[in-house]
Structures are given as structure tokens and as C-alpha cells.
Structure 1
């Protein structure tokens, strides 16, 4: 039944939101004096950014290389259950450590465990919705990104203020265990598909097929630029608001989350647009969204008034959000049948590996220009959005010259 498919989409949205709380907790912890003191990270912005970068390297490698294993051997339900159990273990282990090297190791392992998530999400939508109906479920399941960031900042800030940073990690581990696992067990049905036989050659065949995906280069560049914005802003926005504009902890948590709240709403708008336009025109969302996001971030940098600057970043989140559903939609359309998960894993994996450099690069830029404020690092965000515009234009021209290959989607009713 149709409603059961949508319940699965909502469950995936919740799982993604919990995962993003796991990812951005460090962004708030680097504003906590006790956390910085325990790990010797005071006044070292490059080392602070490295806590995010090492997670993303693990995530990207896993998304690229582990996803074919998941797609060839397990269905979406089994893959999610394995992943969530590992999230619980690695998040809890992070709360126990006092060594920065061990913390980096646990962050890398957490990234590896979360790597297949978005490929599993994309596989679910491909298996349960027809090709002309994937825009909205892609958008709704991706709401978890904005929801996790919007809710995660105030929730983690509250937990840290009331109980300390270690207990906030325990709380996130408990959230995965108490909510994530039961939802998957109850509402994500086994697909019953013999996945290894879909593509000749098993895992090797899946990897080869993914590498041969049409229009892969511009899609990869768009994913890199999109994730660079996400990881750059989610890592440094709290510190920027707190240190450059002297917001209180409560003000900081609200304005750090607001860009992703409006981004969540605009993701649904983007999904609705995608379902109403020809596939060849979908890259227009990257062109429009990239230009508007770049202008908004530029305004935030050059305007000194704190609330105007913060509001411009909220607007940037809206324009970035409208682009989000377009990437999995493009992958679902161009991937060969049975390879959607591996193809998205390739795109998402390389995107995260490259964009993992953004938190460190922004930290380095802020260190060089620390005499003013932290805004200098955000020029790199502007550059990432200009790359989105160029790559979106490239993809649009290619799609208008060449028809998208038929197929690329699997549909299972009910």
C-alpha cells in the first residue's frame, strides 16, 4: 500500500536526523572550554576542524567501498540495522576517551559506520516509487539533514550546558538505540530481492557499473560543492556566531539551527519542482540555488551588523536547501538498474572525501586572518557555490543535448 511506502520514507527521515546530530556534536563541543582543555585543542582551529575532517574521510571511503557490499549482500533493512548498532557503539566509546588520537579514531569509525546511510535511503526510494514520483520522497527523506541540524544544535547545546559534553554523547548513543533501531525493525520491510544477482559480477560489477555512469563528472562536482557548504557551515557557524558576533549560547544555538530549518522547508519545494519539470531541466535548480546561496553568504561576510549577517546565513540555508533533492534524483535517473545504491555511494563517497577538507581549510583561513573575525573562512563557502553554478550549467547543457538513458529505476508497488 502507498501509505506503507511513505511511512518508510518518514522513518528514513528520522534516522537521517539522528545521524546528523551525531555528526555535528563536535561543532558545538569546540565551543566548550572543558572539551578543548581535555584534548588540548585550545586556540588550534586546524586541529578542531580535523575532528570533522577525519569523520568525513571515514564516511566517504565507506560510502564508496562498503556500499557495494551492502547492495550486493543485504537489503535496506539489514543494512540500516547493522549501521545503527555501530553508531551506538562508536558514539558511546567517544564519551569514554581522554586521548585526542583515540577520539580521532572513534570519529573515523563513526564515519565509516554512517557511510552507507544515504545510499540505503536512495535505494529505498528507487525500489518503492516510480521514476516520475521520486522527487518528493527524496526531499522528505532528506529533510533529516536539516531537521537533525536544526534540532541538534539547541538539543546538544542544552545537554552540554546541563550535563557536560560526555553525557551529551551518551544521550546521542541512547537516542540511536531507543529510537533508531525500533523504527527500522517495525517499519522498514525486507525487500526480498536477491541483490547479488542484479548486476553480473557482484560487488566488482557494481563498482564498474557505477564508474561508468553517464554524466558522472558534473554530478560529482555538484556533490563536492554541496557537501563543502554543508560541512563548512555546520562546523564553523556556531563558533562564528559566538566569537565574531558575540551571541549568547542560546542565541548561537538558535541562529546556527535556523538556516537548516528554512532549508528543510525549501527541500520540499525543490522536490515538488523536480516532479513537475523534465529531468533535463533539474540542473537549473543548482544554477539558481548556487547563485542565490553565494550572494547570501557574501552578504553575511561583508555586513558587520550581527543580526543582518546571521539572517543572511539563514537565507543562504534556504537557497542551499532547494538544491538538495536534485542530487539523488539525478543519480536515480542515470544509474543502471540495480546499481542505484552503489552509484550514489560513489558520488556521496567522493563528495565527502573531498569536502572533508573544507573544515580544515576554513580553520586555516580563520587562523591567518584571526585579527578581524572568523568571516574569512566563509569565502571558501562562496567559492563552493560558484562551483555548483558552473557544474550545474555543464550538466544542464549535457542533458539538453543527450536524452537521459531509460531505466535506472526499480519500482515495487505496495
Structure 2
């Protein structure tokens, strides 16, 4: 079979089956040559093309479509319009986008309204990064919620962070639309803007306060990240470092959950005047802080357990998929075994028929031998009869001549008398 004539074997139905089965059996293509060959053989069998095309032709067909999809999904500079037209007109682009979209993701557009690039110094991150996917308000809300819930999975290890971002991407339902790198970039941008608003640079306090009020995500991020960027705590007026400064910088102080703005040399409220009052307040709050610490520890443990559960769930799904694949292979083997039994019974019947035909042929051959002997005998008898007839005819001819001679002599005698 010539590989140069591959195209003529693949109908529209064949190509659709190829994309579907190659996507379903993607886990079998583990970069091992033998494993890939076995997987292609299984796909070829399930397509019902055994003996029509080869596994090499299937692989070549898939690679050609994959290459064309990549050219349309990630076009070269200046080819975006042609690629967009090709993506609309090519019949298999949508199916391949569902199957391969996460392998060739488009970069993500982070809008000015949502991006933390709207920093206080007027810089715009879009001047350095150009993306093509826009995070909606719902996407950003889910991102903050899930990143907070799975914070325990981000333990500073690259593989762990990638797995955690993959889990968040899956739960957000953005697989094939955005990538883990884009989610991470979005989170870091929002985190950076929140830090700029929570802990502003000297002289930027008013702008930061306005930004904290107007930015849509400040309150959610404050709940999620507030403990990572705490405000300086004012203990007493004597210990307040802001009271000794000669500048006009506003000092931020925190009493409980209230944020206070204090100018230098501003007297503190009565409930913040004495160290004894604060120490007694702290002593009353210590059990609550211990309880909050314990609850935070329990939340982290719960998130770790949920992460492990998600990993177990993924492994279970993988095992379930492998089990289904084995069941399909077993069913195929049973069908093959049944077909082999039928073929063997057919072979037996054909063999019996052939044996009967052989017996009949042997009988016919014996009959032909007998007929041959009879014909030989008849031929001998005919040759003998022929010889006898010839001899008899010769004898008859000599007698006739004698009679004619006698007759002629008798006639001569009569004439004399």
C-alpha cells in the first residue's frame, strides 16, 4: 500500500472518527514508540479500516491535521487574517480545537478595568504584554475564591503550583480557553495592585484610599490577603514612631479591625492612651487569636486534604478510563474469538465438502479408467474385424476372378461348337 495515496482512503466519516478516537485514547500516546504503535493499531481496528489503510497512514493523517490546526490557531506574524479565514472555512478546526486547544492556547487579554496594571504611577501592563482572552467578572471572582481556598497547595514548589493552577483552571471551566500561566499572571497582577493600595508609597495615601474604594476587587482580596500585608499597629503614643517625625506624612494605625489615620503629634483616643489598656485588650483577644490560628491551621489542612482528594479523583478518573479501555479491548477480543470460532466451523465444513468432492473425483477417475480399458478392447476388436474383413474381401475378389475366367472359357467353348 503506497503512503502517497493516503488521502483517497479517508472519508469525512473516517476523519471524524479519527479525531474522536485519537482524543479519547490520548493517554496511550506516552511518547513510547511501541505504545504509540499499539494505540494506532487499536484506533485502526475501532475505525474498521484494518486492511484498508495502515497505522503509519493514520499517524501521518493526524500529524498533517495537527500541523494545519497549529498554523491556523497560532499564525505567523502578518498571517492573522488568512488564519482567521482558514479557521472559519476548514471543516475540522472546531473538532481539533476541542481536542488540541489546551496544547496551543491563545494568550490572554487582561483588560484595564480588571488588570492590576492600572497602578498608581500610570503604567499599563498591556504595553508590554498582549493577550487575546478577556477575564470576565465571574471568572475573576472564581479565581480569587479558588486561589484562596487552595492557598495551602502553593507551597513554593514549581510542580505543586502547576498542579494547583491546573486544578483551579479545571474548576473554573476554562480548560482550552486560558492557561495556568495566564491565571498565575492575572493573580500576581491583582496581588501587586492590592499591595500598592494597601501599603502605598509615601505621598500616595489619598490616591490609594480612593483606589481601594473604587477598585472592584479590593474587598475580596483584602479578605484573602489582608494577613499577608498587615498595617502597622499603634501601641501607645509614647511608642508611636510617627509622633516623633517632623514630616507631614500621614501615619496609619490599626486598632482591632479599624484603620486610623493619625497626623504627627495628634493625641491618641482615650481607648488607645495607656499601655495597660492595650495589654488588657490584647490579653482578652489572645484566646480569640489562638482560636483563629487553630481555625486557619484547620482550613489549611482541609485544603491540603481537598488537594489530595482532587489528586486521588484525577487518578481515579485515569484508572476508570484505563478500565473502560481494557473492557473495550476485552470485548473486541471476545468478538474476535467468536469470529474465529465461526471461521473455524466454516473451515471444517469446507474441508468436509472438499473431502466429499475428492471421493467423487476418485470414483470418476476409476470410472474413466474402466472406460479407457473398454475403449482399448473395442479398438482391438475393431482392428481385428477390419483385418478379417480385408482378408475376406481379398478372398472374394480372387473367387470372382476365377468365375469370370471360367465363364469366358465356357463362352469360348460354346462359340466353337
Q: Same fold judged by TM-score > 0.5?
A: no
TM-score, normalising length: structure 1 = 0.20
More helix by share: 1
Structure number with greater Rg is 2
TM-score, normalising length: structure 2 = 0.20
